[in-house]
Structures are given as structure tokens and as C-alpha cells.
Structure 1
Amino acid sequence: MGIYRVDEPRLGAVRVREWRRRARHAIALLVLLLIAATTGLMLLDGSSAPFSTRLFAAMWDAVNLITTLGDFSDFDERQKIFMLGAMFVTMLVAAFALTRLTGILSGDDVIAYRENRAMERKLEHLDNHVVIVGYRSLGQRIADKLRRIGETVLVLVADKAMADRAAEHGHMVIISAPDVFDDAIRHARLENAKALVATAPDGDANLAVTLLAHSLNSSLPIITPGENTLRKTLLESAGATRVVIGDEILAEALTQSLIAHAETTS
């Protein structure tokens, strides 16, 4: 779907601004060439036609010169010599413009900058979505299951490889450096979110995410795993709506399997 980088690639923005500056210069050169060609053709036009007619004809021929679409066979020798010079200048200006503009927008930093702009527009209209923090095994399973049942999923990660994997699976992604991950959460539009699921393997990270998310939207349902009863109490105090202790679920599943097996063999 796309990746929004909180630490926006500044070089990409610089390159885009530079490309626009160069494009303006190239257009200005073409306009100057058009004016010069029109003026020259006007001065070389020895006909007795009205000024407006001669001006239009000169502009027409000048535009044909720049676009290389013209037929100048009706010109006299002086006009043809002038047009030869103008054609040479036109080729120089075109070559200059191509060398100045070609390739500047194809760099990875520019692509990332443009993707950021597109993702900003998507995030502005994001609503009723589920935020998944982390995209390791647990986060990926949850995000993919939610997407299959039609939920809109926004994945928050601090690792490029995980961000790329989540985007490949069709999720919108926000990536931020670990030391400023709070910024990723603030960009997740929690005020419009349906729920948040914290899936980091680090319990302290899930606690920090829960605290920040709850402070940004106290009514947001927050679901997170917990290692034990004490951690569950801490997470609930921080604002978690539901804390799932993995060992309890595993123990319940194993016990039920054992009972079912005993019943089938008795």
C-alpha cells in the first residue's frame, strides 16, 4: 500500500525543489528563444502584410522551430540562414535542459519523498482502522487476518525490513526510528482508530505504547500481550483494555487437547 517515513528523506525534498528550479530555468530559456526567434523573423520579413499578420506568422514559425514541426521551405536565403542558427541554438538549449533534468527524479530519496506525499494524503482520510504496532510473527499474523476479513490495517514499525514486508502484504505502514517512535504513534490518527494492538516482543515497549496511545485517545480499545499477572496489572493501569497472557491461553489449549484425547481413548 505504501510507507510513510516519519524521518522524511530530506534529500528527496531538496532534489525535487532543485528539479523544479532547473525546470523553470529550462522553460525560461525556451521562452527567451521563442521571443528571439519571433523578433528575428519579424525583422527579416520584408512583406507588406499588416503588423499583426507578420507577428502571427513569425510566432507560428518560431513555435514550429522549437517543436521541430515546421516547414520553412518558403523562406528566402536570409531567413533560412537565420533559422539554421536558431535551430542550432534550439538544439543546444534542449540538450542543456535534458542534461539538467534527466535522472534527478529517479533516485531512491526522491521516490521515498514522493511516496511520503502520497501517504500523507491517505493518512488524512484514514478512519475506523486498526493500528498494529510491530510486524514480527505475531503482528504479521494479526494484521494479515484482519485484512482478510476486510479491516483497514495501519502497521507501525521501527525496522525497514519489516516495513517493506508489511507494505508487500498490502498494509499501510508508518516507519520511524526507535528513538523517536512516539512520532509514529502520533501520526497514526488514533483519534479515528477502531483499536490498537501492541505486539512487540519487549514488554516494556508494549507498556510505553499503551501509555502513549491511551494519553492520545483514552477511549481507544488497546489490546496487548502480557507475560504474567503483574505485567497484566501494569498494562491495565496504563490504559490497556485487554491483556492476553500467552501462557494461560497455551495452558488452556493444551489442557483441552489432553481432555479431548482422554475422552476419545476411554
Structure 2
Amino acid sequence: MYRIEEPRLGGLRIKEWRRRAHLAIGLLFLVLLGSTLGIGLLDHSDAPLSTKMFTALWDAVNLVTTLGDFSDFNPDQKIFMLVAILATMVVAGYALRQLTGILSGDDVMFFWENRVMEHKLETLGTHVAVCPFGPVGQLVAARLRDAGATVLVLDTDVKRAEKASRLGYMVILGDQSSFDDVLERARLDTASALFVTGFDPNSNLEITLVAHTLNPGLQIVVSGENDLRRMLLEKAGASTVIDQNDIIACAMVGQIDARPAQRT
């Protein structure tokens, strides 16, 4: 699901985690550097300086990574290593406290979910958009998916959007005030059709007008309850206007035999 009003806290948490990660890495690097210099300077052997520093670096890396494959230490180096081990434990504990838990919130999950959806939307084409995911929209979406179409659900209701997401549809969620942004994100420029299935005639008219503006060649199927509304929707860019009341009436009448009974 892509959320138009993405929680800003998610992005802030990611930035804070990165800052703390850089700090933790920097501290570990300082421990590594300090351990290398300390072990090398306390090496009283007659080995060349380059050999001493390489051995010191080897021991420092083993210290930081906890591999434990150390060389032989003299008494001074052992004392220094005790201090270095304590410093490493303190830095590692600090890093764990700073980095764990900060990425476990819902806002961070929404942040990453939006990043994944952004990539999917960028490559989306010849899909069919359904708006909203109400009773009619659910039936339309299901039949379109059964026919092999790629369905993108657009909605302003969180519960309906979450239901569509659980059913496996791609979803864009936005509130009523930002629905123009929802339609822009829906890649209507590459879509094959838009089904407007809501019950609010004014909302249906607005969605049709914006969608037609974004893509004048888009097929737009929308419901309208009377001749005036049909005319307005067609002028707004609707390709097909469905009169739901007329369909229901025809279906109801078709269930009975309307012919008068013959008198005997």
C-alpha cells in the first residue's frame, strides 16, 4: 500500500538510525585505531616496526570482531588489552542500545512500504484503476482480476484500503483533501481504464474530471443516477455512464413473467 500522507516520523527515524549507526561505527573505528597504536607501542620485541604494527592491527581486529585469534602478549600489552576489552564492551553495548528498537515502529514500516510501492508504480502500465473499494468496487476489482487485469485500488478510507491490500491488490491511500495526488500517483497516463464506483455523485464527478484531465484518452466508467448527472459526467470525460437504478430495475422485472394471464 502506498500512503500519500506518509508519516514523516518514519523518515525521521530512518535518518536518526543512520546518524547513530555512523556514530557507532566511528567509535568502533576509534577503538580499533587506539588498540592498534597501544599494542604496537607496547611491543618491546626486536621485530621491525612494520611487523609490530601489522601484528598490532591483527590483534586489534580480533579484539573488535571478537574472533580471539591473538598473538602472544607481554605483561604491558596484557594490561592494555584488559582496558581495550572493557572499552570495546562499552562501545558495543552503547551501539546496541542506540540501534535496536528504533526501526520497529509502524511509521518506519510505512516508510519502507512506500519506497517499495514507488518502484512498482513507476513501472506500472496498462493497469485498471478502481475507485473506491466499496461494495461495488470490490465486485468490479474481483472480476477484473479474474479476467487477468492488473488492478490498482484508490481509496480514502483506511479500513477499505487495508482490506484491499490484504486481498492482494495494489493500493493508494489518501484523504479526501489530497485525492488529486492519489490520482496523479495512480499512473493514469499509462492506465487502460478507470472504474469510478462510489455512491457520492459529486465525488464521482470530480474524480472523472481530474482523471480525464490527466489522461484525455483514458476509458472512464462511472455510475450516474439520472439524465442530468449522465450529461455532466460525459462532459467531464466519462466514456461510459452506468445507471445503477436502471440496471436494478431491469434485473428485478426480468425475474417475473410480466405477460398478462390468459383467461379461459
| TM-score (structure 2 length as normaliser) | 0.95
Residue in 2 that maps onto 1:215: 213
Equivalent residue letter for 2:88 = T
**2: CA distance, partners of 1:262 / 1:142:** 37
Match of 1:227 among 212, 215, 225: 225
Equivalent residue letter for 2:14 = V
| CA displacement 1:35-66 (0-9 Å, x = unmatched) | 00000011011122222222211111101001
Residue in 1 that maps onto 2:100: 102
**1: CA distance, partners of 2:34 / 2:71:** 20
TM-aligned CA deviation for residue 137 of structure 1:
0.6
Residue in 2 that maps onto 1:135: 133
Residue in 1 that maps onto 2:159: 161
Residue in 2 that maps onto 1:240: 238
Residues 256/37 of structure 1: CA separation in 2 closer, same or farther (3 Å cut): same
TM-aligned CA deviation for residue 136 of structure 1:
0.9
**1: CA distance, partners of 2:152 / 2:204:** 17
TM-aligned CA deviation for residue 101 of structure 1:
0.8
Match of 2:76 among 51, 75, 78: 78
Given that 1:127 and 1:192 are in contact with CA atoms closer than 8 Å, whether structure 2 keeps it comes out as: yes
Residue in 2 that maps onto 1:202: 200
Residue in 2 that maps onto 1:34: 32
TM-aligned CA deviation for residue 73 of structure 1:
6.8
Equivalent residue letter for 1:87 = I
Q: Does 1:120 align with 2:114?
A: no
Match of 2:185 among 187, 195, 216: 187
**2: CA distance, partners of 1:148 / 1:52:** 71
Match of 2:85 among 87, 90, 96: 87
Residue in 2 that maps onto 1:146: 144
| CA displacement 1:53-108 (0-9 Å, x = unmatched) | 22211111101001111144721221111111100000000011111111000011
Given that 2:161 and 2:171 are in contact with CA atoms closer than 8 Å, whether structure 1 keeps it comes out as: yes
**2: CA distance, partners of 1:84 / 1:129:** 64
Given that 1:72 and 1:80 are in contact with CA atoms closer than 8 Å, whether structure 2 keeps it comes out as: no
Residue in 2 that maps onto 1:252: 250
Residue in 2 that maps onto 1:12: 10
Q: How many residue pairs get matched?
A: 261
* 5+ residue gaps, structure 1: none
Secondary structure of residue in 1 paired with 2:36 = helix
**1: CA distance, partners of 2:172 / 2:107:** 17
TM-aligned CA deviation for residue 228 of structure 1:
1.4
Secondary structure of residue in 2 paired with 1:128 = coil
| CA displacement 1:232-258 (0-9 Å, x = unmatched) | 111111100000001211222223322
**2: CA distance, partners of 1:160 / 1:11:** 19
Given that 2:196 and 2:208 are in contact with CA atoms closer than 8 Å, whether structure 1 keeps it comes out as: yes
Moved more, 139-148 or 254-263: 254-263
Q: What is the percent sequence identity of the aligned residues?
A: 52
Secondary structure of residue in 1 paired with 2:61 = helix
**2: CA distance, partners of 1:55 / 1:73:** 12
* 5+ residue gaps, structure 2: none
Equivalent residue letter for 1:128 = T
Given that 2:151 and 2:169 are in contact with CA atoms closer than 8 Å, whether structure 1 keeps it comes out as: yes
